[in-house]
Structure 1
Amino acid sequence: MARSRPALPPMVGRGLGRASAAARSFGRSWGRVLAPVLATVRPAGWVALVVAVAGLVAGLLLSWREPALVGAAAAVILLLALPWLLGRTRVQVELLLDPQRVVAGNSVAASLRVANPTSGRLRAVLLDLPVGQAIHRYDLPGLAAGARHEETFTIRTERRGVIPVGPATARRADPLGLLSRDATWGGVTEVLVRPAMVPLESLGAGLLRDLEGVTSDAVSESDLAFHALREYVPGDDLRHVHWRSSAKLAGAGMQQLLVRQYLDTRRSHATFVVEDRPDAWGSPDDFETALAAVASLVGRAMLDEIAASLVVGERASNTGAAQSALDTVCRAVPGRTGLVTAAAAAAAAVPETSLLFLLGGTGTDFATFQRAAVSFAPDVRRLAIRVDPGQPSRAAEVGDLTVLHLAELGDLPGVLRWSLG
């Protein structure tokens, strides 16, 4: 039979609990103290530290003079590196990018300005600036009080995406790179790289427009597009009574009021929904072609003063601002959402959509386009763009959905002209 362990007295238990809590607090305190100290040791410094400890221990235990000399030399080198860490590094760092939004293939002129805001002289420091996956390293000279120094460089862009620049890190280190103390200045500034775009004709072709927007077939009791007169029914707003016509009926012996009836108008709003699942695209380049087509269409919408919204997987721009939609193009990445789910989210977020573009690849069949399109109101003009480099570019009307087969980006103006003409 197993014997139960006797319970500890209450006072002993409370004492052990307090001791355990104190030990954990002591460990956390020492961790906060040691973490910045250990962070100053570079890889070469760790090698020198291991050599110093191993050499001195071997020399003392084995009475071996050579390892002791090597260990002592390494320890002296580490001690000589310590003075380089003394002092405070206070600088003002300003990063200028021109332009901050650029089309792939163009360059960005960048300028890094460093100033000494202190009343004393700033010793020479090493400044690291991350640019994308690379690091630009600058040896800054000593700066007098209030002095400034500027470094200029060029950021070259090749593909659509986002290039993070910064934050700048001022590094105070010894000449051998054993120890260093880093201070981070500023934040991350992004360069938004848009895909190459093609010029397009107006997206307003084939759409009825008035001064306030696009008229629909929906009858409204209050709007700007006058439609007809009808008889008054209880509950109608008396502000919409057409008194002149009602007076004519009264003169003819008919005691009946007539009220104005209108057609709904809506602001032109183009919504773009892009398939984000990788298996729906023949290759990653097809996904890039689709995003380049979206960027071209959004750029045209901006010229036409048409609001534009974009949904690519979990990334969305629902404000109607074309500039925001172009930024979303830059940030778009493959995901798992799918075209149908993204279209449902877009329809809920942008109910005022008047022109819809659905974009997919070779793995997106017509049924998927149809299921995505039904999330929107019946009076929305719907177009599907299927990127397929293996087939010639063409356009076809299938029910209320216009399907554009796009082999390459350069064919977009032609097939779009046919579909919106």
Structure 2
Amino acid sequence: MTTDSPARGRRRRAPGADQARIAAELVAGAVARATGAVTSRIAPLGRAVGRRLAPVVGVVSTLGWIVLATAAVSVVLAVWLGWAEFVYVAATLLAAFVIAAAFVFGRSTYRVGIELNPRRVVAGGRALGRLTVANSGSRPVLPTRMELPVGEGQADFTIPRLAPGAETEELFAVPTERRALILAGPALSVRGDQLGLLRRTNQWTEQIELFVHPKTVRLAATARGLVRDLEGQTTKVITDSDLAFHALRTYEPGDDIRNVHWRTSARTGQLMVRQCQETRRSQLLLAFDAERSHFASDDEFELGVSVLASVGCQVIREETEIRALWQRGPMRVETPTALLDDSCRIHSVDGAHPTLREFLRQATLRLPAPSLAVTVVGSQVDAAELRGASALWSTDTETIVIRVDEAAEPRLTRLGRSMLITVSALPELPSLLKRAGR
């Protein structure tokens, strides 16, 4: 009895099957290439049509699309069911749409301007705005409505009919109760029907900025870290050449002859050289922790920003080198106004860094070690996290932590190597910093 080998047991594929597979692959490739060619030609045409239709389609409001859809459904139901009532509904809706279209036609020849006075104001101050609209064309323009976004709100103005060369102005007040960066504009003229089916807008101006600065207090120039130190701050590093004298020692070969103290050498009978403590140029690091969970309320957050701005402005006035930063990056410190402008952009953040120490570590990674580090935090930061953040720098860096807590008593305590200042109200800051300077 003979058995077939495995090779003989396999079924042989018919030559026609291979040819059919190859033919199918060729057809599929041809179809794919044809589809790609058609798509490459149709896609630009579709985009061009879309760009042409966008101004027309964009005029129709959400209510307008609902009206058109309802009219189309009414026509279908009228044909399908044969009900005359749906014909009346469709005719009424389409008539309303046609009448609304008449309100969006027309050309406006406006010259529009926005003025804010002043452009910078302290929170709680008064800021006024002026919108001027003039007809720069040679024909009268019909009455229109002008919309002006101001911060989170919007001001609406009814502009009357203007003859050629005529001008009208509208005054408005800007809310400045809280620190903010308020954007006014752009001014938009609106054409449309009273029902709101169609709406066409034209932009006439760009946005302008209004800086609502935080409230600040003037600090005493004798506070620690705010005094201009011509010699710099001394460290524990001993050097042979500096300004802060430390002690004398015996001359050793290789010492600079200029450091020899000749009077002592003559008295003792052997060469003595000066030793000095190394000094560094005073440099203050001012950091603000804007983590939302670290503050008990929005008012506490605003108090923290006011503390930051008060300390920073005083340091800049004293012409001490300073770097100011928060979670979103460094702040400008060329002038007090630049710092106050950037403080208007500070907002609370969520989960930007896992800990306060990690925030300070990443923010100061490429910065030289400061002589004084001041960190402003909220009341919800625990003592352990504050100790960890203070240990980020060496012992040559003095650290001050200013914790804002509206429910606590103002006090001055030690927290490890750091001075902890608790502030419950902005007027308390000058006296607390003055005590810390002693």
**Which bin holds the TM-score, normalised by the shorter protein?**
0.7 to 0.9
Which amino acid is the alignment partner of residue 332 of structure 1?
Answer: I
Q: What is the DSSP-based 3-state SS (H/G/I as helix, E as strand, rest coil) of the residue aligned with 1:297?
A: helix
Q: Deviations over 1:193-217 (max 9, x none)?
A: 233333432255577645x574545
Matched with 1:358 is 375
Aligned to 2:86: 67
Residue aligning to 1:326: 340
Q: 1:318 to 1:348 in 2, by over 3 A?
A: farther
Q: Structure 1 residue 31: deviation in Å?
A: 2.7
Deviations 1:175-231 (A, max 9, x none): 443212112232222322233333432255577645x574545789999x6979999
1:286 shift after superposition: 2.8
Normalization by structure 2: what TM-score? 0.77
Q: Which residue in the other structure is 1:251 paired with?
A: none
Task: Indicate whether 1:17 and 2:36 are aligned.
Answer: yes
* Equivalent residue in structure 1 for 2:398, among 368, 372, 381: 381
User: What amino acid is aligned across from residue 175 of structure 2 in structure 1?
Assistant: R
Structure 2: which 5+ runs fail to align?
1-12, 264-270
SS of the equivalent of 2:284 reads strand
Q: Please say if 1:272 is aligned against 2:290.
A: no
Q: Match of 1:144?
A: 163
1:241-390 correspondence to structure 2 within 5 Å: 264=279, 266=281, 269-317=283-331, 319-335=333-349, 336-337=352-353, 338-348=355-365, 350-351=367-368, 353-376=370-393, 378-390=395-407
C-alpha contact 1:270 1:353 (8 A) present in aligned 2: yes
State the match for 1:80 in structure 2: 99
CA distance in 1, matches of 2:318, 2:378: 27
Q: Does 1:197 align with 2:197?
A: no
C-alpha deviations, 1:326-374, integer Å up to 9, x for none? 2332222222234323323443455374432112233323443343334
Structure 1-normalised TM-score? 0.80
Distance 1:39 1:280, change over 3 A: same
The 3 A distance-change label for structure 1 pair 291 and 349 is farther
Does the aligned pair in 2 maintain the 1:273–1:339 contact within 8 Å? no
- Please state if 1:395 is matched with 2:412: yes
C-alpha contact 1:354 1:379 (8 A) present in aligned 2: yes
SS in 2 for 1:95: strand
Contact 1:166 1:186 in 2 (8 A): yes
> Do the aligned partners of 2:228 and 2:318 also contact (CA within 8 Å) in 1?
no
Gap change, CA 1:121 and 1:277, over 3 Å in 2: same
The one-letter amino acid of 1:357's match is V
1:29 aligned to 2:43?
A: no
- The alignment status of 1:161 with 2:180, answered yes or no, reads yes
Counterpart selection for 2:120 from 92, 101, 106: 101
Q: What letter is aligned with 1:7?
A: E
- CA deviation map 1:300-321 (0-9, x unaligned): 3344344543222124315454
> Percent identity at matched positions?
29
- Alpha-carbon separation, structure 2, partners of 1:119 and 1:262: 80
Cα contact 1:203–1:300 (8 A) shared by 2: no
1:58 Cα deviation after fit? 3.6
SS at match of 1:123: coil
1:131 aligns with 2:121: no
CA contact (8 A) 2:316 2:333 kept: no
- 1:187 partner SS: coil
1:13, distance to aligned residue in structure 2 (A): 3.7
Find the counterpart in structure 2 of residue 45 from structure 1: 64
